Structure 1
Amino acid sequence: MFRLNLKIALRNLWRNRGITAINVGGLAIALAAFILVTMYFTYETSFDKSNPNYKNVYVVGVSYPEFKTNYIAAPFAKAIKQTYPEVESVGLIKEGSFELTIKNGKNTLFTKNILAVDYNAAKILNIQPENGLTKPSGEVERLNYLSKESMQTLFPDKKDNKPEMVGYGASNSGITVVVAGSIRSNEHSNFVFDGISLAAELGEHDNYDMNDYSIFLKLKPNVNVANLEKKITDLYRYELLKNNTSKKSTAELKAISTFLDPLSNLHLRPKAGNDMPYKTLIALSVLGFLILVIACINFTNLSIAQAANRAKEVGVKKVMGAYRSQLTLQFLTEIFIQCFVATILALILAELVLPYFNNLFQVGLSIWQVDSDLIWQLPLILSLITLIAGIYPAMVLSGFKPALVLKGNFSTSKQNSWLRNGLLVFQFCIAVVFIIGLLIINSQLKYMRSQDVGFNSSQVVYIKNLTLFNNPVKFGSVSFNPVRDRLLKIPGIKSATVASFIPGGQNGINSYEVNASKANIDFVNVDFDYFETLDIKLKEGRFFLNTFKTDTINSAIINESAVAKYSIKNPVGQTIRGCGIDYKIVGVIKDFKTQGFESIVQPTIYTIKDPCGSYKTQILLKIEENKMADALAALKAQWPQINPKDGEDFRYEFLDELYGKLFKKQEQLQSVFFAAALLTIFIAILGLFAFAKYITNGRIKEIAVRKILGASDVQIFKLINSSFFIMVLIANVISWPIAYILTKKWLETFAYRIDLPAMPFVSSALITILLTVITVSIQAKKAVKANPVDALKYE
């Protein structure tokens, strides 16, 4: 029976190969997109799942009135462990603050992230050196490990995992360190590193003012996390009050709370961070699913449209004794064959597109992996689409009554006609939403690229540097003035400065007071010429100047948001207090968007001296455009003399490229919507093309009669297009409110955004109506130009 069904299925598919090609092609394209989305979804939602402690690991965060952070004081880790028995283990991690240069002879490695990890954190997060995890002895000893890739760079011929001596910093630094071995750096983890500095304990001598560690907890099974959160908040307030190092009032402490963020949240939607990756993933997943739904609708629509051609076949088989279940199985076999072929084609298409997809999302996905979830997901998807796309057409085709169809009285029921029209409307609804979404995303991105961000990153070069520049009284720091003097002697360099943070990165946060009003605001430690190098606009007062000696002691510049935050009238000359210093405000700058368009400009203070601040390591140079190449070449040649600590390791990036990374997620979303809009329109038009062909063929005799009675070609074109025109118009009317709500919610994720425009809604209607008229008219042309005699000669 199966062989017979298979033969009949293949013959029918070949007989209707045009429709079969449209069905299989549309489904293959949609499946290829769905396969890529499924692979990406699986990848993004499985970070750190290889960790056996995955479900019981949490990071401790702190909520302030103005922000949330995962950075906290190291002593609090010990307080938690000693107080709460439900906490099985507590570990500390400290991220590297700058790139570190490691050398082995002529082989040089620039590490971006060396993590300082204590023994407990390594166990909690399943960080395993190749030689096994060993606890360092004593408080001072550190075991240093480098990732396999890093070891390969330094020791390309190394075959064993024995300890090796390496140099830190420039060749003339004289600093050497023993690398104990290699360590697995799991790229599919929130903790990606070039190396690990393993300690028995971390932060033993730190206090509650130094919030630069991450605390990880491993909880015992079945712990009430919400209840533990409340208890940890009470403990944190108590510890701050007891140590009295933060100098916060009781009212301020009540506004501070802690939270526990599970390991499963950290990659996509951390409580202290941006959840845009999660929203992008959800949007991408919905798009992939809807594209597949459209293809399945096409399949269903075309199968029902062909019902009349299969009616007599069904009638004869039923008269010969075939059961409805047998006919249903036969039609499902046909549909399964088409779906199977579409799946094979989809895999080929996905493989061809995968390099572009990986490049867009900066991932390394592969279809042909032994441990890929696709091995079980594909058969499941194939079964589901066979049932979804085929069960209703199979039931309709197998349900014809023999007596009626053999008399020639068969006609497609009104119910089937209504369903076909409804499915076509639904297809275009999805297509319209995608078109509107794409146009609005384009408008927002165009707005972001064209708006003045408040500073000029063009021709500004950011030099990666190891030297600590700060107040000379601080241990290990040096003055930037001699370096600036040497830099300015190079032709083409217009200005040079150094700061603790650069636009596009995170600023520091501290508590400052103005007229008895206290608040946590951003701070940036800068040097002379910082504002001039970035072309930041002055609103009132002045910039820092070498001619004013007090500028290096207690002068400050604030931005407009800080003025508004403290409600300061006539701010220039007033006092703002922080970190034990009374700063005199000498200038107010206009707000500039350091964090792009998603985050509102934060109140910020800029100072040259800040005992509680960070070291200044970020060197910024403004270089003339026509002298850029020569200036960079001169910098590379002279760098060992200009900045001996970095020596021969001159590295730089262009600030505009760094700042441009803030737009990456939105550009990804734009690319995704562009592809989704094209795919949905293409698949919908494919279905419309075949559907219009069947509708037109079914009205050939009607068209012939109308032509004999004097109807013109234009009138017949209008007649055939009218029903499709109405359906597409209905689809637009239904889609507009949906698209309005979705795009409005998306725009609300931006602090600075466009007003929702009307033009995308009008454009979507024009595009879909125009495409519909063209598609239907192409099919109708053959019927309109046909000789009426050919259609009526058998009547």
Structure 2
Amino acid sequence: MLKNYLKIAWRNLVKNKVHSAINIVGLSVGMAIAMLIGLWIWDELSFDKYHKNYDRVGQVMVTQTANGETPTFGATVVPLSNELRTKYAGDFKLTALIWEGAHILAVGDKKISQNGMWAEPAMPTILSLNMVKGSYASFKDPSSFLISQSMAKALFGDADPINKTVRIDNKTNMKVIGVYQDLPHNTTFYETKFMLPFSNPANWWSTQMQAWDNHACHLFVLMNDHADFDKVSARIRNITKPHFKMNDEVIQVHPMRKWHLYSDFKNGVAVGGRIEFVWLFGIIGLFVLLLACINFMNLSTAKSEKRAKEVGIRKAIGSVRNQLIGQFLSESLLVVFLSLVLTVIMVLLAIPYFNHVADKEVSIPWGNPLFWLLTLSFTIFTGLISGSYPAFYLSAFNPVKVLKGTFRVGRLAAIPRKVLVVVQFTVSIVLIIGTIIVLRQIQFAKDRPVGYSRAGLISIEMNTPEIYGHYEVMRNDLIQTGAVENMAESNSTTTQIWSNNGGFDWAGKTPGYDPTFGTIGVTYDFGHTVGWKIAQGRDFSRNFPTDTGAIILNESALKMSGIKNPIGKTIHWHDGNHVIVGVAKDMVMESPYEKTKGTIFFMTPGWVNWITVRIKPNMPIREALSKIEPVFKKYNPGSPFEFKFNDDEYAHKFSDEERIGNLASIFAVLAIFISCLGLFGLASFVAEQRVKEIGVRKVLGASVVNLWRLLSTEFVVLVFISLLIAVPVAYYFMQHWLQGYQYKAVISGWIFVCAGAGAIAITLITVSFQAVKAAMANPVKSLRSE
């Protein structure tokens, strides 16, 4: 029986080649999108599960209330690790501070700059690193460190790295005691290629064990068995207050299982994050697959008259309805399994590009039985869904009417098809509108004034001791090259604020009010180099010897402080008095979607670790770099010349949104493609169904344009109905999405007009081919049988 079903199904597919091709291609595209999205979602949901202690690892987070806002961040004070380890040993099995950054690793003449971390001894155990050579038992030794497999290969080739010496930042020799397996791409510490002991004298933060006012390190913990994260967080929420009375500072432990998907906080509570994109793409995948299934349903029911006699004859010779349903479902399953073959080919071809766009390293898990079980289940489910309506619809035909020739499908039979077309284009239009709004939000943030000039700025990290202490002579040498306009040093680049501090005091300050400011140490020429704008007072200047220790506030910091007429006023911090000499206009140094952080710039030449260089305008970058590099080699021979374009670093802040926008654009285009594919097939059957009517109209004098309008109007009306449904739906969801940004675009009416006009234009283009073809056909052929 099954063999007979499949044989008949194959004959029908071969007989109706165009119809079959539309079905198979449409389903393949829909299934390929669903499979790619499924792989993406699996990767997201399995983030950090590589670590054996996944369910018991957490990061200590800090929530502060200042100036009416309640941000939550991961930067903690150094003494907190020991406090938790000694006073809350019943809750915490292990604690570990880390400080991440790039370092120079050198073996002989080979010098490599790579990301790593200073870490307390427990960090390798917390992350359950998979050691391939050596061990981390001696990681507490200040002169020993761990490296990843890829780092060992880069430094030592195939030689055994254990007990080999590596020079760190050209100032410290350290011994390799272990090599760990590189962490997978879908882990938080994927880019960490080595671990240095926190207690090493080269790590300045190890000297801050009593500094309760400097939030700069990150603290990770391994909870004891059966410890509850919420209950432990409740016990430690006020642990820092006896030591440093921040304004309502609250401590909590954020579980590893929530790091990736629930990274957004509101009033100290994790409320969302990438989980929203997981739901979004999951829904998109289901809807795109639904569009493909709708095509199958529409095309199958549209050609129902052609198969009506087949159903009538089968019933007349004894076939029962269940057998007919089995026949049509087997046809559907054959189409779906053929589509699955094409789907796998499509996914294999698309994965490299998909990984590039999505910043993933997903692949088809050929050897995973669960993958094949899910794939087969998903394929059968798709086949049953796409074939169920045609099967039950076609098997219900009355054999007497069919064989008498009195069977007519009727107008009401077309209603389900029209409803399905409306659903298709509603989904497609919502995707189009959503994509436009996402891209508009990205562009809106990109167009935001940043308060300084990024063009021609490059940043170089001061990662070896040789480069310190040469500021003036190095600046002069750079300017002498003719390629550099100016140079300055600071402890943050123009695209980051790495130091945040409280404990400031000033005259007139409200009692109990203790805000946290971003704190950046700079040299005299910082403002001139980055091109900031002074709103009040003046810039730092060599003409004023008293500027050593002076400060400049940005406008947000001035607003937070509430200081009136700030120039000449004093702010007390760390047993020192700092005179305000100027107020700079806000610079966007962190997220372009959020408010500017209140920041204080200190004229403190000794508190710097980044060099910012402005290349002269109109100077070719390649030529300028060739002149700049020898100067840095002269003063920093122990380090490769590595730099970052500030423009690129700022552009990186848009990467997540751009990635989502690009993926949404691709899915929207493919959704439209699937819808148009179905529309094309449906238009061909409508034209075929009305061929005699068209012939009569032509004989009576109807023009090609009149006939084109006759056949196209029906589909345009359906798309217009889709538009009426899609606009409020898209507006509701996109307005909710935009609420997650403080700096956001306004949803304009032109977006909906453009989306509607585009959808109608695409519909007309798709339908016109069949409509014009039918209108231009010779009426003699269509009316000959009359």
Same fold at TM > 0.5: yes
| Helix, strand or coil at the partner of 1:453 | coil
Q: 2: distance between equivalents of 1:574 and 1:88?
A: 46
Corresponding position: 1:663 with 2:665: no
Task: Choose the corresponding residue for 1:528, options 510, 524, 527.
Answer: 524
Deviation at 1:77, TM superposition (A): 3.5
In 2, are the aligned partners of 1:130 and 1:161 still within 8 Å (CA)?
Answer: no
Residues 1:406 and 1:513: Cα distance change in structure 2 (over 3 Å): farther
Structure 1 stretches of 5 or more lacking a match? 470-475
Q: Which residue of 2 aligns with 1:473?
A: none
- Which of 99, 102, 127 is 1:99 aligned to? 102
Q: Does 1:148 align with 2:149?
A: yes
Question: For the Cα contact (< 8 Å) 1:164–1:181, is it kept in 2?
Answer: no
Do the aligned residues in 1 keep the contact of 2:134 with 2:179 (CA within 8 Å)?
A: no
Query: Aligned partners of 2:264 and 2:393: how far apart in 1?
Result: 51
Normalising by structure 2, what TM-score?
A: 0.91
In structure 2, do the counterparts of structure 1 residues 505 and 181 end up closer, same or farther at CA, with 3 Å as the change threshold?
same
Query: Which digits, 9 at most, give the CA deviation of each residue in 1:266-288, with x for residues without a partner?
Result: 12332569966444444333333
Q: Name 2:73's counterpart in structure 1.
A: 69
Contact (CA 8 Å) 1:225, 1:260: kept in 2 or not? Answer: yes
- SS, match of residue 452 in structure 1: coil
Q: Which moved more, 1:319-328 or 1:196-205?
A: 196-205
Asked whether the 8 Å contact 1:525–1:609 carries over to 2, the reply is yes
| Offset at residue 414 of structure 1 (A) | 5.5
Q: Counterpart of 1:529 in structure 2: which amino acid?
A: D
CA positional deviation for 1:231? 1.2
- C-alpha distance 411-691 of structure 1, shift in aligned 2 (>3 A): same
Q: Which runs of 5+ in 2 are unaligned?
A: none
Match of 1:99, SS?
strand
Among the aligned pairs, what percent are the same residue? 28
Structure-2 change in CA distance of 1:506 and 1:374 (3 Å): farther
Within 5 Å, give how 1:128-139 maps onto structure 2: 128-131=130-133, 133-136=135-138
Q: Cα deviation per residue 1:697-749 (whole Å; 9 max; x = unaligned)?
A: 21222333334444444333322222212111100011001111222233333
Deviations 1:648-701 (A, max 9, x none): 522112111111111212222232232122111111111111111112221222
AA at the equivalent of 2:596: V
d(CA) in 1 for partners of 2:625 and 2:686? 68
How far apart are residue 135 of structure 1 and its match? 2.7
Paired residue for 1:725?
A: 716
- Deviation string 1:377-422 (CA, Å, 9 cap, x unpaired) is 3212211211221112111122222222222232336554221111
Using the TM superposition, name which of 691-700 and 738-747 deviates more: 738-747
Equivalent position SS for 1:647? coil
Note if 1:350 corresponds to 2:353: no
**1:377 has 2:377 as partner:** no
One-letter amino acid of the counterpart of residue 531, structure 1: G
Shift of 1:522: 1.5
Aligned mates of 1:124, 1:642 — CA distance in 2: 40
Q: Secondary structure at the match of 1:55?
A: coil
Q: Structure 2: how far apart are the matches of 1:463 and 1:204?
A: 25
Closer/same/farther in 2, CA of residues 220 and 310 from structure 1, 3 Å limit: farther
Which residue in the other structure is 1:178 paired with?
A: 175
Matched, 1:506 2:505: no
Distance 2:346 2:745 in 1: 37
Report the residue type matching 1:191 in the other structure.
F
How far has the Cα of 1:83 moved from its partner? 4.7
Q: CA deviation at 1:454?
A: 1.6
Q: Which deviates more from structure 2 when the two are superposed, residues 482-491 or residues 692-701? A: 482-491
Per the alignment, residue 472 of structure 1 pairs with: none
Alpha-carbon separation, structure 2, partners of 1:279 and 1:372: 29
Structure-2 separation of matches of 1:694 and 1:222: 64
SS at match of 2:643: strand
**d(CA) in 1 for partners of 2:112 and 2:11?**
64
Cα shift at 1:141: 4.4
Q: How does 1:192-271 map to 2 (within 5 A)?
A: 192=190, 193-197=192-196, 206-207=209-210, 208-220=212-224, 222-234=226-238, 236-237=239-240, 240-241=241-242, 244=243, 246=244, 248=245, 252=246, 255-271=248-264
What residue in structure 1 maps to residue 111 of structure 2?
A: 108
Selected match of 1:341 from 338, 346, 351: 338
8 A Cα contact 2:540 2:547, kept in partner:
yes
Query: Are residues 134 and 499 of structure 1, via their aligned partners in 2, closer, same or farther at CA, if it must alter by over 3 Å?
Result: closer
The structure-2 alpha-carbon separation of the partners of 1:449 and 1:198, relative to structure 1 and needing over 3 Å to count, comes to: closer
| 8 Å contact from structure 2 (residues 135, 177) kept in 1 | no
| Residue 621 of structure 1: aligned partner | 613
Please tell me whether the aligned partners of residues 145 and 194 of structure 2 are also in contact (alpha carbons under 8 angstroms). Answer: yes
- Amino acid across the alignment from 2:84: I
1:7 aligns with 2:10: no
Q: Which moved more, 1:691-700 or 1:441-450?
A: 441-450
Return 60-69 or 268-277, whichever deviates more.
Answer: 268-277
Query: Cα offset for 1:525?
Result: 1.2
Q: How does 1:461-472 map to 2 (within 5 A)?
A: 461-467=458-464
Taking structure 1 as reference, are residues 140 and 223 closer, same or farther at Cα in structure 2, changes over 3 Å only?
closer
One-letter amino acid matched to 1:682: F
Cα distance in 2 for residues equivalent to 1:544 and 1:204: 30
* Residue aligned with 1:659, SS: helix
Residues 716 and 632 of structure 1: CA distance in aligned 2, closer, same or farther (over 3 Å)? closer
Out of 121, 126, 129, the position equivalent to 2:128 is 126
Correspondence for 2:436 among 435, 439, 444: 439
Query: Does the C-alpha gap of structure 1 residues 569 and 621 become closer, same or farther in structure 2, counting only changes over 3 Å?
Result: same
Question: Residue 436 of structure 1 contacts residue 739 of structure 1 at CA under 8 Å; is this kept in 2?
Answer: yes
- Which AA in structure 2 matches 1:540? Q
**CA 1:293–1:221 in structure 2 vs 1: closer, same or farther (change >3 Å)?**
farther
Q: Tell me whether 1:566 sits opposite 2:568 in the alignment.
A: no
Letter of the 2:96 counterpart: L
The two structures have a TM-score, normalised by structure 1, of 0.90
For 1:228 and 1:264, the matched residues in 2 are separated by: 16
Contact conserved, 2:38 with 2:282, CA < 8 A, in 1?
yes
Residues 1:769 and 2:735 are matched in the alignment: no
When residues 592 and 280 of structure 1 are mapped into structure 2, their CA distance, relative to the original with a 3 A threshold, is farther
Letter of the structure 2 residue corresponding to residue 92 of structure 1: A
2: CA distance, partners of 1:584 / 1:757: 47
Matched, 1:80 2:84: yes
**Secondary structure at 1:750 match in 2:** coil
Q: Residues 62 and 68 of structure 1 are in contact (CA less than 8 Å); yes or no, is this contact kept in structure 2?
A: yes
What is the distance in 2 between the residues matched to 1:529 and 1:665? 34
Distance 1:619 1:150, change over 3 A: same
Alpha-carbon offset, residue 499 of structure 1:
0.7
Give the direction of change, closer, same or farther, for the CA distance of 1:409–1:133 in structure 2 (3 Å limit). Answer: farther
1:425 aligns with 2:419: no
Q: Does 1:328 align with 2:332?
A: no
Query: What is aligned with 2:552?
Result: 557
Structure 2 CA distance for partners of 1:226 and 1:418, relative to 1, 3 Å: same
Deviations 1:459-487 (A, max 9, x none): 11211321479xxxxxx974633433333
Distance 1:414 1:716 in 2: 20
State how many pairs are aligned. 765
Q: Is the 8 A contact 1:128 1:183 kept in 2?
A: yes
Greater shift, 406-415 or 678-687, is seen at 406-415
Secondary structure, aligned partner of 2:487:
strand
Residues 437 and 734 of structure 2 are in contact (CA less than 8 Å); yes or no, is this contact kept in structure 1? Answer: yes
User: Which amino acid in the other structure matches residue 530 of structure 2?
Assistant: L
**Aligned with 1:568: secondary structure?**
coil
> 1:740 & 1:696 partners in 2: Cα distance?
36
Letter aligned with residue 99 of structure 1:
A
Worse-superposed segment, 399-408 or 699-708 = 699-708
Q: Please tell me the residue identity of whatever aligns with 1:195.
A: F
Q: Tell whether 2:544 aligns with 1:548.
A: yes
Please state how far the C-alpha of 1:339 moved relative to its aligned partner: 0.9
CA distance in structure 1 between the aligned counterparts of 2:535 and 2:58, rounded to whole angstroms: 45
Q: Which moved more, 1:444-453 or 1:673-682?
A: 444-453
Q: 1:585: how far off? A: 1.4
The CA distance in 2 between the partners of 1:620 and 1:487, in whole Å, is: 12
8 Å contact 2:141–2:197 — kept in the other structure?
no
**Change in 2 beyond 3 A, CA 1:211/1:585:** closer
Of stretches 534-543 and 443-452 in structure 1, the one that deviates more from structure 2 is: 443-452
* Corresponding residue SS for 1:191: coil
1:599 aligns with 2:590: no
How far apart, in 1, do the equivalents of 2:218 and 2:614 lie?
Answer: 36
Instruction: Give runs of aligned pairs for residues 773-792 of structure 1, distance below 5 A.
Output: 773-792=764-783
Against the structure 1 CA distance between its residues 712 and 494, is the aligned structure 2 distance closer, same or farther, given a 3 Å change threshold? closer
